[in-house]
C-alpha cells in the first residue's frame, strides 16, 4: 500500500483522523501472470541464473509503474527479505513457471529453462 497526501478539497470527505494521509491502492499483477516474465528474464540471462538475478532482471524487463515498484512487501517472516511486494510475487512466479514445466531447479537457488 502506498500512502499519499490528500489535498484540501479531498480531505473534507474523510474522517478527521484520516484527513492527513489516505491509502492509495496499487494494482499489482498476480504471481501466476508473471511467469512469462520469469522465462524472458532467464532467456536474457543465458538460460540459467540464481534466483536473485532472475528477479532483478524481471523487474528491469517488466512494465511496472513507480507506484507498483514502491509497494513494500507485506511478508514479515524473519527469513522473508523481499524489498518489495513485486520481489515477493516474482519469487512465486518462479514456482509457477516450475509447475508449468518451463523452468527447473539446478541446485539450491539456481534455476534454468527447460528445453522444449
Whether 95 maps to a domain, the answer reads yes
Q: How far is residue 8's CA from residue 105's CA, in Å, rounded to a whole number? A: 53
Per-residue pLDDT tens over the stretch 28-86: 989 999 999 999 999 999 999 999 999 999 999 999 999 998 888 876 665 556 688 99
**Of 84, 109, 83, nearest in space to 94 by CA:** 109
| Number of domains composing the chain | 1
pLDDT higher than 70, residue 7: no
CATH label of the domain that carries residue 59 = 1.10.10
Q: Is residue 75 part of a domain?
A: yes
Parent domain of 91: 28-113
Maximum C-alpha span of the chain: 59
pLDDT at 5: 41
In a domain, 6, yes or no: no
Average pLDDT over all residues of the chain: 81
User: Which of 85, 100, 108, 112 lies closest to 28, judged by CA?
Assistant: 85
Amino acid at each position: 500500500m502506498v500512502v499519499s497526501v490528500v489535498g484540501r478539497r479531498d480531505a473534507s470527505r474523510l474522517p478527521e483522523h484520516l484527513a492527513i494521509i489516505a491509502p492509495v491502492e496499487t494494482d499489482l499483477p498476480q504471481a501466476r501472470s508473471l511467469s512469462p516474465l520469469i522465462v524472458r528474464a532467464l532467456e536474457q540471462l543465458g538460460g540459467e541464473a540464481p534466483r536473485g538475478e532472475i528477479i532483478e532482471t524481471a523487474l528491469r524487463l517488466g512494465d511496472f509503474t513507480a507506484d507498483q515498484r514502491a509497494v513494500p512487501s507485506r511478508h514479515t517472516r524473519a527469513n522473508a527479505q523481499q524489498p518489495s511486494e513485486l520481489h515477493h510475487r516474482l519469487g512465486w512466479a518462479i514456482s509457477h513457471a516450475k509447475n508449468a514445466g518451463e523452468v527447473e531447479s539446478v541446485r539450491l537457488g539456481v534455476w534454468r529453462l527447460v528445453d522444449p
